[in-house]
Amino acid sequence: SMQYEHILVETRGRVGLVTLNRPAALNALNDRQMEELGHALLAFDGSDDVGCIVLTGSEKAFAAGADITEMAGLNYADVYKSDFITRNWEQIRRVRKPVIAAVAGYALGGGCELAMMCDFIIAADTARFGQPEIKLGIIPGAGGTQRLPRAISKSKAMDMCLTARMMDAEEAERAGLVSRIVPADRLLDEAFAAAEVIAAMSLPTVMMIKESVNRAYETTLGEGLLFERRLFHGTFATEDQKEGMQAFLEKRLPSFKGV
């Protein structure tokens, strides 16, 4: 186990919650914090008691980017040799259970990229997204030029990355970056409600859906459809498929066991 300095971790029912907790720096993400985040997410991923994960920040900032103080003094050899700082940032890609980003306030630079690494984003009406790296003389380094165009189109992604302007929650929803907008004071409740719905489903089925949707971004349509079909067939090997269909026929709620 690991002592966390910059994140808070708790579980409510079958939902795991990670809160980014460096409010004084608007959750500017440092290496240590990302190491903690990866550790906490993978611990939830490995726990039988957790079916879905929520990642959030503070009221004012989900995260205002990577920590500029930590980056300012680095040179090319430093960042190249350490592969700055993907080692810790990429832990989240290993998580096989769904991770919902609950975003209020600023999600900028690495903060926007971190939100996009999650499976979907629920935004408070106060959320503001942006890739302002260009103003610092750098480019996005954790997926901003790759996930953003896939999420909101080339034109909008170019606009965001080249002008460094911020997008409010309304524009982000219209563009497809976020799945829904909720009032700021309801953000965590709504994120938990969504997570609880997911956590009550069959866990292997939930994980297969995540894996299959993510496959769509890595492959051709034909290969993706084949991948989906094989997983679909696989669901018929689970007891949860029997239970889900039987419950429907008996007009009752299913009780999934994750097997």
- For ligand CO8, which residue of 40, 44, 91, 106 counts as binding (CB under 6 A)? 106
Of all helices (H) and strands (E), which one includes residue 54?
strand 52-56
Residue 62 sits in the site that holds ligand CO8 (CB under 6 A)? no
Q: Which residue, 26 or 152, is less far from ligand CO8 as judged by CB?
A: 26
> What distance in Å separates the CA atoms of residue 171 and residue 72, rounded to the nearest whole number?
31
Q: Position of tokens 């004071």? A: 185
Least distance to ligand CO8, CB of residue 110, Å: 3
CA distances from 209 to 20, 42, 227 (A): 27, 19, 11
Other beta carbons less than 10 A from residue 61's beta carbon: 25
Q: Which of 69, 153, 155, 163 binds ligand CO8 (CB under 6 A)?
A: 69
Q: How far apart are CA 116 and CA 33, in angstroms?
A: 18
Do residues 197 and 205 lie in contact, with contact meaning Cβ atoms separated by under 8 Å? no
State the minimum distance, in angstroms, from the CB of residue 27 to ligand CO8.
Answer: 8
Instruction: Assess 110 for contact with ligand CO8 (CB under 6 A).
Output: yes
In the region spanning residues 125 to 184, those forming contacts with ligand CO8, defined by CB under 6 A, are 132-133, 136, 141-142
Nearer to ligand CO8, 58 or 212 (CB): 58
Query: Does residue number 89 form part of the binding site for ligand CO8 (CB under 6 A)?
Result: yes
Residues 6-25 that bind ligand CO8 (CB under 6 A): 25
Is 85 among the residues that bind ligand CO8 (CB under 6 A)?
Answer: yes
CA 35 to chain centre: 16
CB of 204 vs ligand CO8, minimal distance in Å: 31
Go through 93-108 and write b for each residue having 16 or more CB atoms within 10 A of its CB, e for each that does not: eebbbbbbbbbbbbbb
CA distance 224 to 83: 30
Number of residues forming the site for ligand CO8 (CB under 6 A): 22
CB of residue 10 to ligand CO8, shortest distance in Å: 25
Catalytic residue set: 66, 110, 113, 133
Question: Rule CB under 6 A: which residues touch ligand CO8?
Answer: 25-26, 28, 64-69, 84-86, 89, 106, 108-110, 132-133, 136, 141-142
